[in-house]
């Protein structure tokens, strides 16, 4: 099982620094082994170890890295060792392995570390937007619990004609008599939210994420063409690099055209036709193809996109927070109109 993306970024950055300083891959991995053996990720008491995923326990990463060292010492090719290292995602493994094979690991590792850190930073900002909404939901559930389990039974008990109560109050009273219903509803809601967030189906609908995918695509082009990969190999790699469906389909179309003998410049028009790249982005790529230096020519687009993604992320954060604020406000209004107001009216009639 692969490590969290931020941990992979950290390992690649350390690896990049050490191999750039002329350390061997084996020595760089040994240094990482000692770091993870000493500090680990999460210190877990033995009695609770079964509750924490294995990849987060102290010592687990060190063991995996140490296995890689043993394989290299046993004569395995370092490139093959990295290709089989399941603590990294497939795109990270393939990039490091290609850097080793091409003899330019220091440069490749530095570029890869930059890319991973950019991904982690931008997606981290997106995740932080969920803190406020999650707190709002918790407060809303707490308020619901108090209304349903503390007030509803007492108020319904003072009313003589219970059949005249609104349906919302009757439903709240039924739930107050069966606490497991409330617990089951909360657990089901939490499970649905977690599944929705983990599925990632929401990402392509966020403007910030759409720009982020474009930035990620251009960064990979820069890294892979700098590593002297063939055009076909670049797009074979990108087709499995975890892009959204729309990007993946366009990448596979370009790959199909390249394998059919079409030149890269013509094949890349697919991205413009599908609205994934702007005409200016394509112009930079086309210029890079003509002069045989795509990495240099896409650099201006990458710098501009970093600024655009940052600004777009700020707008997305504002939109998400505003949407959840309205949602929570609507829920509180529902509680007031559906429960609190009818219950206070019932009390007044009973007095």
Cβ atoms within 10 Å of 15's Cβ, excluding its own = 25
Cβ atoms within 10 Å of 314's Cβ, excluding its own = 12
Residue 109 lies in a domain: no
Q: Are residues 147 and 295 in the same domain?
A: yes
Domain that holds residue 67: 5-88
Residue 108 lies in a domain: no
299: helix, coil or strand?
helix
pLDDT in tens, the chain (351 residues): 778 888 888 888 888 889 888 899 999 988 888 877 776 554 444 554 455 555 555 567 788 888 899 999 998 898 899 888 888 888 888 888 888 887 888 888 888 888 888 888 877 776 776 666 777 777 777 777 777 677 676 666 665 555 566 666 667 767 777 777 777 877 887 788 777 766 666 666 666 777 888 888 888 888 888 878 889 988 988 888 778 888 999 999 999 999 999 999 999 999 999 989 888 888 989 998 989 888 888 888 888 888 887 787 777 777 777 777 787 777 777 777 766 666 666 655 555
Residue 311 lies in a domain: yes
Task: Answer with the one of 67, 88, 109 that is the final residue of a domain.
Answer: 88
pTM of the model: 0.66
pLDDT of residue 161: 55
Q: Are residues 51 and 141 in the same domain?
A: no
User: Sign of the C-alpha dihedral, residues 262, 266, 269, 271?
Assistant: positive
Count structural domains, the chain. Answer: 2
> Both ends of the chain: CA-CA distance in Å?
64
pLDDT of residue 142: 75
Q: 14 and 116 in contact (C-beta within 8 Å)?
A: no
Q: Are residues 84 and 186 in the same domain?
A: no
91: Cβ–Cβ under 8 A, 6 or more apart, which residues? 220, 237, 240, 241, 242
Which letter does DSSP use for residue 162 in this model?
G
Q: Are residues 76 and 126 in the same domain?
A: no
Cα 215 to Cα 102: distance, rounded to the nearest angstrom: 25
Q: Are residues 132 and 261 in the same domain?
A: yes
Residue 110 lies in a domain: no
Q: Are residues 136 and 285 in the same domain?
A: yes
Residues paired with residue 145 on neighbouring β-strands, in sequence order: none
Torsion of CA 164, 166, 170, 171, to 10 degrees: 160
Residue 190 lies in a domain: yes
Q: Are residues 212 and 293 in the same domain?
A: yes
Task: Answer with the one of 68, 88, 108 that is the final residue of a domain.
Answer: 88
Residue 230 lies in a domain: yes
Residue 102 lies in a domain: no
Cα 287 to Cα 283: distance, rounded to the nearest angstrom: 6
Q: Are residues 73 and 134 in the same domain?
A: no
Q: Are residues 153 and 302 in the same domain?
A: yes
Q: Are residues 186 and 48 in the same domain?
A: no
Task: Answer with the one of 88, 106, 136 that is the final residue of a domain.
Answer: 88
Cα 236 to Cα 67: distance, rounded to the nearest angstrom: 29
Q: Are residues 205 and 274 in the same domain?
A: yes
Cα 208 to Cα 348: distance, rounded to the nearest angstrom: 52
Residue 259 lies in a domain: yes
Q: Are residues 139 and 73 in the same domain?
A: no
């Amino acid at each position: 099982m692969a490590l969290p993306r931020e941990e992979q970024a950290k390992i690649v950055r350390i690896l990049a620094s050490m191999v750039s300083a002329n350390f061997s891959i084996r020595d760089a991995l040994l240094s990482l082994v000692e770091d993870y053996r000493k500090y680990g990720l999460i210190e877990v008491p033995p009695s609770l170890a079964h509750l924490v995923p294995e990849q987060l326990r102290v010592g687990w990463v060190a063991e995996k890295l140490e296995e890689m060292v043993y394989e290299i010492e046993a004569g395995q090719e370092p490139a093959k060792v990295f290709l089989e290292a399941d603590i990294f995602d497939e795109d990270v493994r393939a990039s490091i392995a290609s850097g080793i094979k091409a003899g330019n690991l220091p440069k490749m590792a530095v570029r890869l570390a930059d890319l991973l850190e950019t991904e982690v930073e931008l997606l981290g900002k997106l995740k932080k937007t969920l803190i406020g909404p999650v707190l709002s939901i918790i407060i809303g559930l707490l308020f619901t619990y108090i209304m349903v389990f503390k007030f509803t039974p007492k108020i319904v008990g003072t009313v003589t004609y219970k059949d005249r109560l609104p349906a919302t109050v009757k439903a709240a009273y039924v739930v107050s008599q069966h606490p497991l219903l409330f617990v089951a509803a909360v657990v089901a809601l939490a499970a649905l939210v977690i599944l929705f967030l983990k599925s990632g189906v929401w990402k392509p609908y966020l403007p910030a994420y759409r720009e982020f995918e474009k930035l990620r695509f251009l960064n990979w082009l820069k890294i892979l063409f700098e590593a002297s990969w063939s055009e076909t190999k670049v797009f074979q790699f990108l087709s499995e690099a975890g892009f959204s469906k729309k990007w993946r389909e366009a990448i596979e179309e370009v790959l199909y055209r390249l394998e059919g003998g079409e030149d890269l410049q013509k094949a890349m028009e697919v991205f413009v036709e599908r609205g994934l790249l702007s005409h200016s982005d394509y112009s930079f790529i086309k210029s890079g193809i003509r002069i045989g230096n795509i990495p240099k020519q896409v650099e201006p687009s990458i710098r501009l996109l970093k600024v655009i993604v940052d600004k777009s992320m700020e707008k997305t954060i504002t939109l998400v927070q505003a949407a959840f604020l309205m949602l929570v406000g609507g829920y509180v209004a529902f509680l007031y109109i559906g429960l609190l107001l009818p219950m206070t009216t019932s009390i007044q009639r009973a007095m």
